Chains A and B, each alone.
Chain A
Amino acid sequence: MALNPAVRLPPFQHLLDAHAVDLHRFCVAQAGPDHGADCFQEAVIAALRAYPSLQDDRNLRGWLFTIAHHKVLDHHRATGRRPVPIGDGPDRPTGGVAPVDDDLWRAVNRLPGKQRGAIALRYLGDLPYAEIGVALGCSEAAARQNVRAGLAGLRQEVTR
C-alpha cells in the first residue's frame, strides 16, 4: 500500500504495457541482445521491488528509464573492468563497447558515458531533458549539452 495516500499508483501491468518495448530496446541498443535482456530483467525486477513504496506517481516512464540506465551503467562498468583478451583486433569492440547489431548504435556506445546515456534516454526513452538530467544525475542544461555533444560526435563518425 502506498505510504502517501495522495499517490495513486496504477497497476504495474500498465507500466509494462506502455513502456516495456521501449525499455527493452533501450537496454539492447546499449548492451547488445544478451546483456541487454539481462539489464532489462534487472531493471524491471528492481522497479517491482521499489514500486509499492514509490512516493510519486508522476513521470513513471522517467523513473523506469532511470533504473534501466543505472543497470546499463553497471553492465558497462563490469565489462569495462574485464581484461581485454589478447589478440583482440583493432576492429573488435573492446572494453565497454557492447556487441550491438547496428552501426549507429555501436558508434553511440563508443561515446563518453554521459553522452551515450543522454542520447539513449533522449531518442529511445523519448524523455524530456529535465528527466534525462534526473537519470544522469546532472542539470537539465547539462543533459541538453550531453545530447548535443553526442549528436555532434555521431555526425563526425558517420560522415567520416
Chain B
Amino acid sequence: MTTHPIETQLRAGVPTDPTAALNAVLARAEAEGLVDVAYATTDSPIGPLLVAATDAGLVRLAFDAEDDARVLEELAARIAPRVIESPARLDQVRRQLDEYFEGCRDRFDVALDWRLSAGFRKTVLETLHAQVAFGHTVSYLELATMVGNAKASRAVGTAMATNPIPIVVPCHRVLRTGGHLGGYGGGLPAKIKLLELESTGHTLF
C-alpha cells in the first residue's frame, strides 16, 4: 500500500503514449481538410529551415534566424489558425531542397501559394521566380527594369526583404549594382553559400 495521498495517485493517472493516437488524428485531419497550413522542418547546409504549405502549395520558407514560433504565429494570423506540423505534405519540397543542396537540382518543381505577397512586391517576386534561373544573378536595378519600372529598385529591395519563400523564389540571385551582395534574410553567409553552390553546380561545403 502506497503512502501517497490519493490526489497524487490520481495525477499519476494511467501511463499513456499519445503518439499513435496523434498520428491517427493527423491523418484524419488531413483527409478531412482540417489542416489549413501544414509545416515541417528540414535541415540544410545553411541551417534548419521551416517549410509550410496550404492546399494551394508552398506558402512559406523560413530560416532559423526568423524564429519558428514567430513564423507560425504569423501564419496563424495571416492565413488561418489551423497550423499543424504535418510533414507528409512537405515531403516533395523537402526532397527537392535536399537535391538542390546536393547540387543535383537547378529548379524547383512545386506549386507555390503566393498569398503572402501582394501588389508590386508579388509582381517582382513572380518575375524573379519565372525569369532568373539557377546560376544567374541580376541587380536590383535590372530586376526593376524587368518589371517595367526602372526607378523602383528600392521597392524591389523591399520585395526581396519580404520574400515569404526564399531559396525557391530566388532572391539570393539579386545583388546590388556593381556586384555587392546586398542583404539577405537568412544572413549573408547563407547568401554566399547559395551563390557558390549555383556558380559551380556542385557544393563547396
Shortest CB distance B77–A (Å): 6
Give the number of residues in B that approach A within 8 Å (Cβ atoms): 32
* Residues B18 and A20 in contact, CB atoms below 8 Å apart: yes
Query: Which residues from B are CB-within-8-Å of A28?
Result: 14, 16
Tell me the minimal C-beta distance from B78 to chain A in angstroms: 9
Q: Which residues of A contact B39 (CB under 8 A)?
A: 13
Q: Is A149 an interface residue (CB 8 A)?
A: no
Q: Counting CB contacts under 8 A, is A45 at the interface?
A: yes
Once A20-B18, A41-B25, A52-B81 are accepted as A-B contacts, the answer to whether A11 and B72 lie under 8 Å apart by CB is yes
Is B85's CB within 8 Å of the partner chain A? Answer: yes
Closest CB in chain A relative to B9 CB, distance in Å: 5
A 136-160 to B, binary, CB cutoff 8 A, 1 in contact else 0: 0000000000000001001100100
- On whether the beta carbons of A24 and B21 are closer than 8 Å, the reply is yes
Cα–Cα distance between A20 and B75 once the two chains are bound (Å): 21
A40 to chain B: which residues have CB within 8 Å?
18, 21, 25
Q: Is the CB of A151 within 8 A of B6?
A: yes
Q: What is the minimal beta-carbon distance from A44 to any residue of chain B, in angstroms?
A: 5
User: A51 on the interface (CB 8 Å rule)?
Assistant: yes
**Residues on the B chain within 8 Å of A21, using CB:** 16, 18
Bound state CA distance, A33 and B18, in angstroms? 10
Tell me if A56 counts as interface (CB < 8 A to partner B).
no
Partner of B28, one of A12, A45, A124, A154: A45
A105 to B12, CA, bound (A): 10
Min CB distance, A117 to chain B, in Å?
13
B60 to chain A, nearest CB (A): 12
17 A–B pairs (Cβ distance < 8 Å), ordered by A: A11-B75, A12-B76, A14-B72, A16-B84, A24-B18, A24-B21, A25-B13, A25-B14, A28-B16, A41-B24, A49-B34, A52-B80, A52-B81, A100-B14, A102-B14, A105-B13, A124-B13
A residues with CB within 8 A of B: 1-2, 8-14, 16, 20-21, 23-26, 28-29, 33, 36-37, 40-41, 44-45, 48-49, 51-52, 100-102, 104-105, 108, 119, 123-124, 126, 151, 154-155, 158
- B residues with a Cβ closer than 8 A to A are 6-7, 9-11, 13-14, 16, 18, 20-22, 24-25, 28-29, 32, 34, 36-37, 39, 72-73, 75-77, 80-85
